[in-house]
């Protein structure tokens, strides 16, 4: 479904992606892991067209995405930092984003699920970090798209919201959607992910199931297995 071909990206002198090749098939949950600054967010932003790669190509649904925009209609994105215009209310923002896509959306259920009903008329600037993240999640899941990209979705969520989030992710997966997740919470990965993509030095260091990773690193615990991979970088 998605294919990254020989992707290069530099910010000034800093090389973030260095000839990255990655193929992601349709359906399933893929966790993109890697140490801080390994290029996870950059990779995702390249896919979204927010960061423009220096070299290489990205294929989504058999078409290149570079310099295009219509493909984003089939893609939902949850940004890492929930930055919203502070002078809008929650419901205004939701309606505004609804207007942007020629597509049906389902917000009632999500708003109910995350208990946002009482906050709908509050200004976004006055919300707590966790509530903002909930709004963020509503915005990311309200459209029915084939690909869902979640950048650190668990940031600031309370345990109940976290359980709901996992439920939604599972539900979307059962509908046959492709879900990309980046996170640092290994228990979360262990619970939801089907496959792991491990980024290191701007390249794919490992790609495969959790089982395969545990086997390769001789470690029963995912957290330690990943730590093992990262430790090699420091060595």
Partner 1 sequence: MRSRWSYVYFLFYLILGFVLLFLNNDVDKAVITLMNIIIVLTPLIGTIFGVMYYYNSKEFTELLLAQPIKRSKIFMGQYLGISISLTLSLVLGLGIPFVLYGLFKSAAIFNFSLLLVVGTFLNFIFVALSYNIALSTENKIKGFGYAILMWLFLAVIYDGIFLISLVVFNSYPLDKFSLIATMFNPIDLSRILILLKLDISALLGYTGAVFRKFFGTNFGMFISMGVLVLWVLLPVLRMNLKLRKKDF
Residues contributing to the site for partner 1 (CB under 8 A): 11, 45, 48-52, 67, 69-73, 77, 79, 83-85, 87, 97, 100-101
Smallest separation, CB 94 to partner 1 (Å): 12
Q: Which sign, positive or negative, has the C-alpha torsion 105, 106, 110, 111?
A: positive
* Cβ distance to partner 1 smaller for residue 85 or 176: 85
* Cβ distance to partner 1 smaller for residue 155 or 217: 155
Half-sphere exposure of 152 (CA within 13 A, CB side): 13
Smallest separation, CB 108 to partner 1 (Å): 21
* Cβ distance to partner 1 smaller for residue 100 or 163: 100
Smallest separation, CB 222 to partner 1 (Å): 30
* Cβ distance to partner 1 smaller for residue 100 or 160: 100
Smallest separation, CB 113 to partner 1 (Å): 22
* Cβ distance to partner 1 smaller for residue 116 or 189: 116
Smallest separation, CB 45 to partner 1 (Å): 7
* Cβ distance to partner 1 smaller for residue 73 or 216: 73
Smallest separation, CB 69 to partner 1 (Å): 5
């Amino acid at each position: 479904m998605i294919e990254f071909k020989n992707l290069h990206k530099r910010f000034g002198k800093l090389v973030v992606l260095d000839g990255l090749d990655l193929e992601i098939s349709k359906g399933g949950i893929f966790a993109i892991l890697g140490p801080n600054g390994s290029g996870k967010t950059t990779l995702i932003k390249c896919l979204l067209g927010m960061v423009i790669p220096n070299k290489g190509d990205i294929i989504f649904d058999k078409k290149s995405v570079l310099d295009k925009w219509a493909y984003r209609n089939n893609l939902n994105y949850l940004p890492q930092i929930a930055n919203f215009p502070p002078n809008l209310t929650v419901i205004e923002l939701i309606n505004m984003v609804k207007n942007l896509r020629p597509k049906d959306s389902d917000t009632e259920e999500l708003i109910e699920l995350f208990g946002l009903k009482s906050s709908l008329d509050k200004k976004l600037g006055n919300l707590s970090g966790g509530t903002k993240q909930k709004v963020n999640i509503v915005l990311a899941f309200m459209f029915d798209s084939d690909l869902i990209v979640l950048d650190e979705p668990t940031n600031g969520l309370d345990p109940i919201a976290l359980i709901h989030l996992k439920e939604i992710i599972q539900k979307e997966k059962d509908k046959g959607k492709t879900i990309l997740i980046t996170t640092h919470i290994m228990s979360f990965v262990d619970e939801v992910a089907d496959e792991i993509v491990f980024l290191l030095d701007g390249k794919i260091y490992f790609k495969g199931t959790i089982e395969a990773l545990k086997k390769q690193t001789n470690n029963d615990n995912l957290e330690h297995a990943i730590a093992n991979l990262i430790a090699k970088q420091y060595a």
